[in-house]
Structure 1
Amino acid sequence: MNKEELHRLLHPMKLIGLGGNPALNEKIAKILGEPLLETAVHHFSDGEIQVNISETVRGCDVFVIQTIQDPVNQSFMELEIVLDALHRASAHTINVVVPYLAYSRSDTKTRSREPITAKLIANLLQLTGIDRLLTIDLHASQIQGFYDIPVDHLHAQPLLAQYFLDNGFAGREGDDVVIVSPDHAGAKLARNFGQYFDAPIAIVDQRGTRYDDEVHDMIGDVKGKKCIIVDDLVDTGSRIASSTKSVMAAGATKVYVAVTHALLSQNAVDRLNGLPIEQIVVTDTIQHEQYPDRMVRISVDQLLARGIDYIYNDRSIHEIFDEQNRLK
């Protein structure tokens, strides 16, 4: 019996999928060939949550999959209560898989008496005794430093880039693709995304935190170009709307959007449907009942399943990054 077989015998893998994104949970479980544990989550009339896990998890390596999406606080409390139950049930390791980690935008203090909620979330998760966090495209990479446990920060941008490459986008061939950042803060993300196409970047000269319908100046040349606006998330759609109008006013011929997390809150669907965008390419980290007309969803099921498998079998997550970098 080799080391891996002994590990599987002593500490079998158990998967728990919570209510944030059931469809993605099922996809991941199917790829791994492991069933999701039957977990009953009951909501009392006053809003309290009760969780019952049907099987023993003593000595097991447990992976809890939960997207913290709308309703955000309810999703987070479901996760916290399950983690407490696993800790009290003597699980060998408790690994949290969060495709989208809410509150990540609150990662720094910019005004007096302002909280750093991303740090608070890190503290609350660690209070339940988790061993590891696996997530995708945090709003800011430095959030990993808020944790005193290993954080595996996977990236979905290569998946989005691969979609465009498969559909004929390549800067070196036509020299007509420009990657656009919707503001100055996203310039690094745009630069990294542009490397997959050997394409230049441009920046919407958006200043301040308020996004509106005004047309802003562009830093960089987009005239006569196909533009791909890149961001980590789309919430109400105001930032995408502002960027789209700015690049079109600067002479862009076509506009595409590549975003990891599609929050789509308030009237985002209607707002995005009203824009002259060819396609909006996102991942399925967040599940909704309705999507914009021209939205293409790329699944992160393989990416997360591989991350879980590598963690369970003590393989280096860096291997995933190396394979993604070969797209360039």
Structure 2
Amino acid sequence: MSGVKRPTEKHLMLFTGRANPELAEEIAALMGVQLTPSRLISYANSEIYVRYEESVRGSDAFVIQSHPANVNEWLMEQLIMVDALKRASAKRITVVAPCYPYARQDKKHLGREPISARLIADLFWAAGADRIMSVDLHTSQIQGFFNGPLDHLSALPVLSAHVAAKYDVSNMTVVSPDAGRVRLADNWCDTLGAPLAIIHKRHDPTIANQVKVHEVVGKVAGRTCLLVDDMIDTAGTVCQAAQALRDHGAERIIIAATHPILSGPAAERLNAFGVEEVIFTNTLPMSADIQINNMTVLSIAPLLAQAIHEIFEDGSVASLFSHGAS
């Protein structure tokens, strides 16, 4: 009939920044779609230019970008990508940030400090994002920083499946490296059916990235100890925690974390300590210069592909949410 508008068919489009295109390519392959061709250029003065080589009008757009160092460059690139989509009349824009940038700056510890994690959410919103998807936020309160939906996915099923298949969990203790990760460790305990131990430590406020380990609370002597965290940066916390476990008679030590930031001396520290295995996901790209003994990197792409599919189909992503992470 003339004059009657037909419903517009939904159209999914995937876009990737330059920080970790391999992850985006794997997601696209799992979903059976192609990444949208894009032109991304860094000019001599470091300004970034973005142009999409296909029409994005009316699309359900997913902008995939990891945020390794230099975090600010890749964050700005993603913001510009979102802005370009908004100005090109994309119908809905979802930011896929597997490792949320500035997540550790989620509160004020001292006067005159920013809450940078909130600022990041505001920037995505101002650029035109309708939704954010991330994995294992440093604290769950970040979910409340964004004005739209923020899908907080959990890498626990990916990591725990590997651990359960490889190790005897009947002799395993899950260890939180500090009080802030107890909820995360408790979720691991529920999944593996293992007991919990906690490393009690205190940060030295005068020295960045330095901690002092005090004591181990829980049974670790003669057991396989699984140290869990959401991220490993310089590896100072986990290595001191591992030393405390060794001092208390742990038989074997495994480290599992979602985000391999791995700044500065991280690889050297982990190699010097000689743990049984270090397990990460690929939410961040692994530099070829980083060589860690006994390291396993598991793909987060199937989880992200499933979540993108559910969002596009207006399905449920509840089963993929973080299990009460703090």
Per the TM superposition, whether the score is higher than 0.5 is yes
| 1:194 counterpart residue number | 189
Deviation at 1:121, TM superposition (A): 0.4
Structure 1 residues 44-92: Cα deviation after superposition (integer angstroms, max 9, x where no partner): 1111111111111001111110012211000000001111111100001
Structure 1 residues 220-279: Cα deviation after superposition (integer angstroms, max 9, x where no partner): 121111100000000011011111101000110110001000001112111111113000
| 1:3 counterpart residue number | none
Q: Give the TM-score normalised by structure 1.
A: 0.92
Q: Relative to structure 1, is the Cα distance of residues 213 and 132 closer, same or farther in structure 2, using a 3 angstrom cutoff?
A: closer
SS in 2 for 1:205: strand
Q: Relative to structure 1, is the Cα distance of residues 59 and 233 closer, same or farther in structure 2, using a 3 angstrom cutoff?
A: same
| 1:307 counterpart residue number | 307
- 1:115 maps to a residue whose letter is P
- 1:242 maps to a residue whose letter is Q
Deviation at 1:159, TM superposition (A): 1.1
SS in 1 for 2:228: strand
Contact 1:211 1:242 in 2 (8 A): no
Deviation at 1:27, TM superposition (A): 0.2
Q: Distance in 2 between matches of 1:211 and 1:267?
A: 11
Give the superposed CA RMSD. 1.8
Q: Distance in 2 between matches of 1:197 and 1:65?
A: 31
User: Which residues in structure 2 correspond to 1:78-93 (within 5 Å)?
Assistant: 78-93=77-92
Contact 1:202 1:219 in 2 (8 A): yes
Q: Distance in 1 between matches of 2:250 and 2:186?
A: 19
Deviation at 1:147, TM superposition (A): 0.9
| 2:263 counterpart residue number | 265
Q: Give the TM-score normalised by structure 2.
A: 0.92
Contact 2:226 2:253 in 1 (8 A): yes
Does residue 131 of the first structure (1) align with residue 126 of the second (2)?
A: no
Deviation at 1:291, TM superposition (A): 3.6
Contact 1:284 1:297 in 2 (8 A): yes
Q: Relative to structure 1, is the Cα distance of residues 268 and 259 closer, same or farther in structure 2, using a 3 angstrom cutoff?
A: same
- 2:317 maps to a residue whose letter is I
Structure 1 residues 154-199: Cα deviation after superposition (integer angstroms, max 9, x where no partner): 000121111111113323xxxx211111111111111111112211
Structure 1 residues 2-48: Cα deviation after superposition (integer angstroms, max 9, x where no partner): xxxx97x6231111011121111110000111111111111111111
1:204 to 188, 199, 202: 199
| 2:296 counterpart residue number | 296
Q: Relative to structure 1, is the Cα distance of residues 219 and 211 closer, same or farther in structure 2, using a 3 angstrom cutoff?
A: farther
**Structure 1 range deviating more: 139-148 or 288-297:** 288-297
Q: Relative to structure 1, is the Cα distance of residues 120 and 38 closer, same or farther in structure 2, using a 3 angstrom cutoff?
A: same
Q: Distance in 1 between matches of 2:319 and 2:192?
A: 22
Q: Distance in 1 between matches of 2:106 and 2:320?
A: 26
| 1:236 counterpart residue number | 234
- 1:227 maps to a residue whose letter is C
Contact 2:99 2:135 in 1 (8 A): yes
Structure 1 residues 279-311: Cα deviation after superposition (integer angstroms, max 9, x where no partner): 001101111223412110110110000000000
Q: Distance in 2 between matches of 1:291 and 1:53?
A: 36
- For structure 1, which runs of at least 5 residues remain unmatched after alignment? 1-5
User: Equivalent pairs: percent with the same residue?
Assistant: 37
| 2:45 counterpart residue number | 46
Does residue 318 of the first structure (1) align with residue 313 of the second (2)?
A: no
| 1:148 counterpart residue number | 147
Contact 2:203 2:210 in 1 (8 A): no
Contact 2:173 2:226 in 1 (8 A): yes
Deviation at 1:205, TM superposition (A): 1.2
- 1:310 maps to a residue whose letter is E
Q: Distance in 2 between matches of 1:215 and 1:185?
A: 14
- 1:128 maps to a residue whose letter is A
SS in 2 for 1:122: helix
- For structure 2, which runs of at least 5 residues remain unmatched after alignment? 1-5
Contact 1:24 1:284 in 2 (8 A): yes
- 1:286 maps to a residue whose letter is L
SS in 2 for 1:206: strand
SS in 2 for 1:62: strand
